[in-house]
Amino acid sequence: MTDRNRRYENKVVFITGAAGGQGREHAVRFAAAGAKVIGVDICEGLPDCYYPLATEEDLAETVRLVEAAGGAMHAAKGDVRDLARLREVVREGVDRFGRLDVIVANAGIYSPSPTQFLTSEQWDETIGVNLTGVFNAVRAGMRRMIEQNEGGAIVITSSTAGLKGFYGCPAYNAAKHGVVGFMRSLALELAPNQIRVNTVHPTSVGTPMILNDSFPKLVSPEPDAGFDQAAEFLRPQQPMDIAWLQPGDISDAVLWLCSEEARWVTGVTLPVDAGALLK
């Protein structure tokens, strides 16, 4: 029986959005379980994203944490909207580590605005990162996994917004629903290759996507709103009485979906949401 704590020994995982938030946590957790990591992140802000994105220093910190967990990481700067760049990063990582077993298409942004105020530029940016970026991440690595002929797993980070409607974020809602359709088609396409494809659907998670100076002011009328006000807004959305989950809660689900323990699990939409989808 495989040691569950080292269940990714001799495996290689490609993660997008690896410089911070959920992506960093996934990278460290896979490394602690024995995997080598290929990680990519844009490492710069985007013009229509209202909160700061991770930096090159953040990506370097992910590498440090991966190494501290006993792993190794090929880390590179790259935009998930740039397929050629993702292919280059994956090729470099595979040249270093020799194989590819798992793709975690995690990179995403959140830029809310109701449709009547949403600009074309905001729409294009969100769809480009959250939907086309997922398509590109899969395309960058799937051929290698098919050619290895040893199976594998792909997990796409969606959201509770991929399974229900949310007011004021049409582009985000559309993209997160879109990756579910893509996942279901891809799961059928790759089933003969024993490559499983699933989506994970977090509720709010304590990452810079919501833990920033701007988000509390979006959800509270108080001029000096902070994290307490953000928590007051978010807590009622989860029946289990928690404002937001921790990145590790999502990593638990991702590592399970990619493991042999879930070897016959494909085409599923797995909520990690403290009951939010029940409301």
Catalytic residues: 172
Report how far residue 244's alpha carbon sits from residue 108's, in angstroms, rounded to the nearest whole number: 17
Tokens of 72: 């190794």
| Cβ atoms 90, 38 nearer than 8 A | yes
Report how far residue 239's alpha carbon sits from residue 274's, in angstroms, rounded to the nearest whole number: 6
Q: Are strands 73-77 and 152-157 parallel, antiparallel or unpaired?
A: unpaired
- The residues, any chain, with a CB within 8 Å of residue 253's CB and separated by 6 or more, are 200, 270, 272
Q: Tokens 């323990």 label which residue?
A: 261
Report how far residue 204's alpha carbon sits from residue 245's, in angstroms, rounded to the nearest whole number: 6
| Cβ atoms 161, 204 nearer than 8 A | no
Residue 187, number of CB atoms within 10 A of its CB:
18
Tokens of 77: 């700067």
Q: What is the tally of helices (H) and strands (E) in the chain? A: 9, 7
| Cβ atoms 106, 25 nearer than 8 A | no
Tokens of 17: 């959005």
